[in-house]
């Protein structure tokens, strides 16, 4: 069987300071607060050691000398120590929480911002549930380490060092007994830690699976219900859910054994201290007093607590390191196209779009587009037709640089788009998809994509252009009416109208319609055609469509099949060739005749 | 009255999940009694040992007392580890049942439900709410507190047996602690509820953004999403700090207030020792009892704070559980002998809510 130390998990979760070092600059603005916290922590940790010493003083001095006023003074001092410990500890915890929360907010926002700029291939392989887990769980693990574990470990170390100093100074012999137990404690920690850590790594994986499952199936609940698959999905959920229990329970069981064994060792130490200490007290009460023995019992009680915490926190530390590594991986993924500094002349000659021998594969050598070449002059309309899976959407995705082609060049007005900053490129493009994406919020925010600098007048004008003003007017609060998640309170046609309106608000130079009218009925489509004509006139555009009637007027029609341009020309030219396009047209015309 | 009725509803809701685990829960309840009893007897052995040392009694007498201490600790180890394992397993199984039960219901609810609840919020309820906050509370929170309550009770009995007067003095902080908690309940409630709502909003923002990332990137609106996220993230920081401030204050106050007992025991117990009314062994046992009771007291405060947190989560889950679907299947339906595919819509009208 493979040793845990040889596994990929071990590599991913081992404690490397280099992983955390990258976060250190984030602490710099809070250095003073952190220093203050450390001072408060030191004070409260050291003060908490005073209790057993005060009890020792009371037993050995006040009790023996029958000194009631001395006892009162000792008690008053104890109260003062308690109040100070409370004050120091409270302010330290609050301060640390504030610092930790602020640092984590920065990390969260940076990951989120970075993720929004990742290329589409990243989103193809990372479901939303997983991203949610990255931004939430991984940062939460870091926060927990910064605000709880670091503080607890530091406080425990300070206390243990302080305790050793105090114990050595009051009885060297009794401290040696404690030292005698140390190897046993270390063996127990090492044994259990090696067993527990891999289990909890697996648990985190299972938790991410639950997140992803919930996200995927609740999103697709309509499809699940439409196909009557509720029972099957519930059973699968049960499997994923139960699986975590099966994996997690042994981890908890080991953790419990660990805690109880440590506690039992502390009892053994107490027994040894009482046995040996008792004998020494009875033999020579001057070399070891009963007060010292009682103080030692108090320290044992305090000594094993930190050990228990320390190993308990190892799991939190490991979790945080794993989270930090994953955060670093995301933050270190280069963002293609962002921040590139290719200078462009402000007034560029319009030369249109040109694909030159473009090849693209999502994976290895599985080519989705093969040697694609075409030229679309400015202000002209290109239509792409072809069967599902021919590579139509992929082709337009390359224009937006959602993906990068492996071979060939895409030129926009003569400039290779791979040299353009993404913002400059995409500001010239507009996209309307078949899958309509609307966000929760108002219609206004959806149409201007949260860009507050766009006025509502401009949005209303865009709605006028596509004859969709009445859609907004009939809503109770007009542009400020709220949309449900994914615009579920609108019909498909209404959603698509908003999608067109959004494109018009941004008034792009080049517009891509990716089967934009496929999911709406022919009547609504006919209504939309006027809007589409208004949008497309004089604008460079690429239209992907299955219904050939909608693209007849295009200047160039590209017929794609298996990622290859099979035919290219105008509607009439392609009909004369009597090839794939002619065939498709005949089939659709036939269907039309049949249905009429 | 409202509080009691809400509490009753919460308990009734949780109780349905306890039923399949009834046998194990009974074992936990019984084991807790044994563990609490053993734990409360252990400090009592200190009296024999310390007084034996103080009076220089025979080593055999002290040795026997030490062996009794060791034997009791071993028994406590065996029963306690078993009880903790049962609780851990029950926590996990409850989390599984909570999530499974609610998911099985959600997957059958109609679109009006999904219009009302957003995906990010639902995922938060089924993960964050169901997880540690509720499942841990429902078993470990409740049954650890039960064990702690018994430990406090048995220890108080032992303490009264040693010295009833000193016991009375030692428990003076207890009513003050109860007052502190009852006064702070509403603050905790409000802050935890607000925090859960903000966490849901953060999750919604993430979920919505990455579900529509293609369109966001196409329109170069990544920066707007980042601003939106930064705003909800800041809201979350404020909510977290506000909830933690209240939590830390109440928790610390609760913890340190109990330590005042230790000072009262030192002062009063010391006075009794000086006046020959208490032995040093009894004083040490008392001191040990008070020190030992800090953790059970912590568990009780944990239960009270945990209940406020869990109560918010229970309400959020009950909300899902109590949602009535507009579309109901008839209780009794006649299954057609043969499906012919003959479909008729008669005078159907529909409008969205």
Min Cα distance B260 → chain A (Å) is 7
Q: Are residues A122 and A154 in the same domain?
A: yes
On the question of pLDDT at A38 being above 80, the answer is yes
Averaged pLDDT for residues B44-54: 88
Using the 3D structure, point to which of A303, A332, A361 is the last residue of a domain.
A332
- To test the contact with chain A by mutation, choose from B48, B215, B262 the residue with the greatest count of A C-beta atoms within 10 A, namely B215
Note whether residue A196 is domain-resident.
yes
Banded model confidence at residue A315, pLDDT cuts 50, 70, 90: low
**Are A89 and B288 inside 8 Å of each other by CB?**
no
Residues of A in contact with B353 (CB under 8 A): 489
A140 compared with A9, residue with greater pLDDT: A140
- ipTM of the complex as predicted: 0.80
**Are A131 and B236 inside 8 Å of each other by CB?**
no
Q: Shortest CB distance from B49 goes to which of A82, A109, A274?
A: A274
Residues of B in contact with A105 (CB under 8 A): 233-234, 236-237
On the question of pLDDT at B186 being above 80, the answer is no
Q: Shortest CB distance from A128 goes to which of B59, B210, B245?
A: B210
On the question of pLDDT at A385 being above 70, the answer is yes
Q: Are residues A68 and A114 in the same domain?
A: yes
Q: Are residues A315 and A371 in the same domain?
A: no
Considering only A58-62, A342-346, A433-437, B126-130, which range has the smallest mean pLDDT? A342-346
Note whether residue A132 is domain-resident.
yes
Min Cα distance B5 → chain A (Å) is 32
Q: Shortest CB distance from B66 goes to which of A132, A271, A290?
A: A271
Enclosing domain of residue A508:
353-595
Residue pair B47/B282 in contact by the 8 Å Cβ criterion: yes
* CATH number of B11-320, picked from 1.10.10.60, 3.40.640.10, 3.40.50.1100, 1.20.1560.10: 1.20.1560.10
Residues of A in contact with B225 (CB under 8 A): 112, 116, 450
A427: buried, middle or exposed (CB in 10 Å: 19+, 13-18, 0-12)? middle
Q: Are residues A273 and A386 in the same domain?
A: no
Residue pair A149/A313 in contact by the 8 Å Cβ criterion: yes
**For B249-281, how does the pLDDT look when each residue is reduced to its tens digit (9 = 90+)?**
887 877 787 788 889 999 999 999 999 999 999
A259 touches chain B (CB under 8 A): yes
Note whether residue A92 is domain-resident.
yes
Considering only A24-33, A261-270, A460-469, which range has the smallest mean pLDDT? A460-469
On the question of pLDDT at A435 being above 80, the answer is no
Using the 3D structure, point to which of A332, A361, A383 is the last residue of a domain.
A332
Q: What contacts B298, CB < 8 A, 6 or more positions away?
A: B254, B255
Nearest C-alpha in A relative to B84: A256
CATH number at residue A193: 1.20.1560.10
Banded model confidence at residue A345, pLDDT cuts 50, 70, 90: very low
Q: Are residues A120 and A267 in the same domain?
A: yes
The encoded tokens of residue A223 equal 């499809």
pLDDT of residue A519: 66
Averaged pLDDT for residues B229-245: 92
Q: Are residues A368 and A269 in the same domain?
A: no
Banded model confidence at residue A357, pLDDT cuts 50, 70, 90: very high
B5 vs B51: CA distance, rounded Å = 53
**For A78-133, how does the pLDDT look when each residue is reduced to its tens digit (9 = 90+)?**
999 999 999 999 999 899 999 999 999 999 999 999 998 888 888 887 877 778 77
Note whether residue A241 is domain-resident.
yes
A48 compared with B332, residue with greater pLDDT: A48
pLDDT of residue A533: 78
On the question of pLDDT at A348 being above 70, the answer is no
**Are B226 and A113 inside 8 Å of each other by CB?**
yes
On the question of pLDDT at A295 being above 70, the answer is yes
Q: Are residues A166 and A49 in the same domain?
A: yes
Q: Are residues A109 and A74 in the same domain?
A: yes
Averaged pLDDT for residues A263-269: 89
pLDDT of residue A4: 53
On the question of pLDDT at A355 being above 70, the answer is yes
Residues of B in contact with A256 (CB under 8 A): 81, 84-85, 88
pLDDT of residue B268: 94
Note whether residue A5 is domain-resident.
no
Residues of A in contact with B244 (CB under 8 A): 94, 97
Q: Are residues A376 and A264 in the same domain?
A: no
Nearest to A437 by CA among B214, B240, B220, B284: B214
**Are B59 and A129 inside 8 Å of each other by CB?**
no
**For B106-138, how does the pLDDT look when each residue is reduced to its tens digit (9 = 90+)?**
888 887 788 778 787 888 889 888 887 788 889
Note whether residue A307 is domain-resident.
yes
**How much is the CA Rg of chain A, to the nearest whole Å?**
35
Task: Report the percent of chain B where pLDDT is more than 90.
Answer: 37
Min Cα distance B348 → chain A (Å) is 17
Min Cα distance B343 → chain A (Å) is 17
Q: What is the DSSP string of A341-399?
A: -----SS-----EEEEEEEEEEETTEEEEEEEEEEE-TT-EEEEE--TTSSHHHHHHHH
**Are B100 and A128 inside 8 Å of each other by CB?**
no
Count of domains in chain A? 2
**Are A218 and B111 inside 8 Å of each other by CB?**
no
- To test the contact with chain A by mutation, choose from B48, B115, B219, B244 the residue with the greatest count of A C-beta atoms within 10 A, namely B219
The number of residues making up chain B comes to 353
Q: Are residues A316 and A357 in the same domain?
A: no
CATH number at residue A575: 3.40.50.300
Using the 3D structure, point to which of A297, A332, A367 is the last residue of a domain.
A332
Segment 535-574 of chain A within 8 Å of chain B by CB: none
pLDDT of residue A337: 62
Q: Are residues A576 and A503 in the same domain?
A: yes
Q: What is the interface size between A and B, counted as CB pairs within 8 Å?
A: 296
Q: Are residues A315 and A364 in the same domain?
A: no
3-state secondary structure of A409: strand
Chain centre distance of CA B339:
53
pLDDT of residue A10: 58
Q: Shortest CB distance from B49 goes to which of A225, A263, A278?
A: A278
Q: How many other CB atoms are there within 10 angstroms of residue A8's CB atom?
A: 8
Averaged pLDDT for residues B183-212: 85
């Amino acid at each position: 069987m493979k040793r845990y130390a040889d596994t990929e998990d071990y590599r991913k979760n081992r404690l490397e300071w280099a992983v955390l070092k990258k976060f250190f600059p984030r602490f710099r603005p809070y250095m003073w607060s952190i220093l203050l916290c450390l001072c408060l922590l030191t004070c409260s940790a050291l003060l908490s050691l005073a209790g057993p010493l005060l009890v020792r003083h009371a037993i050995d001095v006040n009790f023996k000398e029958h000194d009631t006023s001395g006892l009162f003074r000792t008690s008053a001092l104890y109260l003062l120590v308690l109040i100070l410990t409370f004050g120091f500890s409270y302010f330290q915890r609050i301060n640390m929480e504030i610092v930790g929360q602020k640092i984590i907010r920065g990390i969260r926002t940076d990951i989120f911002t970075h993720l929004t700029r990742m290329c589409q291939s990243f989103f193809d392989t990372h479901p939303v549930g997983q991203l949610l887990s990255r931004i939430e769980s991984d940062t939460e693990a870091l926060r927990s380490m910064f605000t709880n574990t670091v503080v607890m470990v530091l406080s425990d170390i300070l206390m243990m060092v302080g305790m050793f100093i105090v114990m050595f100074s009051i009885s060297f012999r009794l401290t040696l007994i404690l030292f005698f137990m140390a190897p046993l404690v270390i063996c127990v920690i090492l044994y259990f830690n090696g067993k527990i850590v891999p289990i909890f790594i697996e648990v985190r994986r299972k938790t991410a699976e639950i997140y992803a499952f919930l996200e995927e199936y609740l999103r697709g609940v309509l499809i699940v219900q439409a196909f009557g698959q509720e029972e099957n999905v519930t059973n699968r959920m049960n499997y994923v859910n139960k699986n975590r229990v099966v994996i997690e329970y042994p981890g908890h069981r080991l953790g419990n054994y660990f805690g109880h064994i440590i506690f039992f060792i502390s009892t053994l130490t107490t027994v040894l201290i009482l046995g040996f200490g008792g004998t020494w007290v009875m033999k020579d009460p001057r070399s070891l007093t009963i007060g010292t023995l009682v103080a030692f019992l108090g320290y044992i009680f305090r000594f094993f607590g930190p050990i228990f915490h320390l190993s308990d926190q190892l799991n939190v530390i490991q979790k945080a390191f794993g989270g930090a590594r994953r955060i670093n991986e995301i933050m270190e993924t280069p963002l293609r196209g962002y921040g590139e500094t290719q200078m462009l002349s402000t007034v560029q000659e319009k030369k249109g779009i040109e694909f030159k021998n473009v090849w693209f594969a999502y994976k290895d050598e599985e080519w989705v587009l093969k040697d694609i070449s075409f030229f679309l002059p400015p202000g002209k309309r290109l239509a792409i037709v072809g069967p599902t899976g021919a590579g139509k959407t992929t082709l337009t995705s390359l224009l937006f640089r959602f993906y990068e082609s492996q071979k060939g060049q895409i030129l926009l007005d003569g400039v290779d788009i791979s040299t353009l900053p993404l913002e400059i490129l995409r500001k010239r493009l507009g996209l309307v998809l078949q899958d309509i994406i609307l966000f929760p919020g108002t219609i206004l925010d959806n149409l201007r994509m949260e860009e507050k600098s766009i006025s509502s007048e401009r949005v209303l004008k865009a709605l006028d252009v596509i004859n969709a003003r009445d859609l907004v007017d009939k809503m109770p609060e007009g542009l400020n009416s709220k949309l449900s998640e994914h615009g579920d309170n609108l019909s498909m046609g209404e959603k698509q109208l908003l999608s067109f309106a959004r494109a018009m608000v941004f008034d792009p130079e080049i517009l891509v319609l990716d089967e934009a009218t496929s999911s709406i009925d022919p009547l609504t489509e006919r209504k939309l055609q006027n809007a589409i004509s208004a949008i497309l006139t004089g604008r460079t555009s690429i239209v992907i469509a299955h219904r050939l009637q909608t693209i007849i007027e295009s200047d160039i029609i590209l017929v794609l099949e298996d990622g290859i341009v099979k035919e290219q020309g105008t509607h009439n030219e392609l009909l004369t060739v009597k090839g794939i396009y002619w065939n498709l047209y005949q089939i659709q015309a036939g269907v039309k005749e049949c249905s009429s | 009255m409202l509080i009691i009725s809400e509490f009753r509803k919460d308990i009734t809701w949780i109780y349905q999940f306890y039923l399949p685990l009834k046998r194990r829960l009974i074992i936990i309840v019984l084991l807790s009694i044994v563990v609490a009893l053993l734990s409360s007897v252990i400090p009592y052995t200190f009296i024999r040992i310390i007084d034996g040392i103080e009076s220089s009694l025979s080593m055999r007498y002290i040795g026997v007392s030490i062996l009794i201490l060791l034997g009791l600790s071993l028994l406590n180890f065996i029963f306690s580890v078993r009880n903790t394992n049962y609780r851990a397993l029950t926590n996990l199984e409850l989390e599984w049942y909570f999530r499974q039960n609610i998911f099985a219901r959600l997957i059958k609810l109609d679109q009006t439900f999904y219009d009302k609840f957003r995906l990010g919020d639902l995922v938060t309820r089924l993960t964050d709410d169901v997880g540690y906050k509720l499942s841990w509370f429902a078993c470990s929170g409740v049954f650890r507190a039960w064990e702690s309550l018994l430990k406090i009770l048995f220890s108080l009995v032992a303490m009264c047996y040693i010295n009833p007067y000193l016991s009375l003095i030692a428990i003076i902080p207890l009513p003050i602690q109860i007052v502190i908690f009852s006064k702070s309940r509403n603050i905790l409630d409000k802050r935890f509820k607000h925090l859960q709502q903000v966490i849901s909003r953060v999750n919604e923002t993430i979920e919505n953004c990455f579900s529509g990332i293609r369109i966001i990137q196409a329109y170069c609106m990544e920066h707007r999403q980042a601003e939106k996220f930064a705003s909800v993230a800041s809201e979350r920081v404020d909510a977290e700090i506000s909830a933690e401030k209240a939590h830390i204050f109440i928790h610390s106050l609760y913890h340190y207030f109990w330590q005042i007992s230790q000072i009262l025991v030192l002062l009063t117990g010391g006075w009794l020792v000086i006046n020959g009314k208490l032995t040093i062994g009894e004083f040490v046992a008392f001191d040990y009892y008070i020190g030992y009771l800090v953790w059970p007291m912590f568990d009780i405060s944990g239960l009270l704070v945990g209940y406020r947190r869990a109560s918010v989560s229970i309400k959020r889950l009950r909300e899902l559980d109590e949602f009535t679907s507009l579309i109901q299947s008839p209780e009794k339906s006649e299954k057609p002998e043969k499906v012919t595919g003959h479909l008729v819509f008669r005078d159907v009208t529909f409008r969205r809510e």
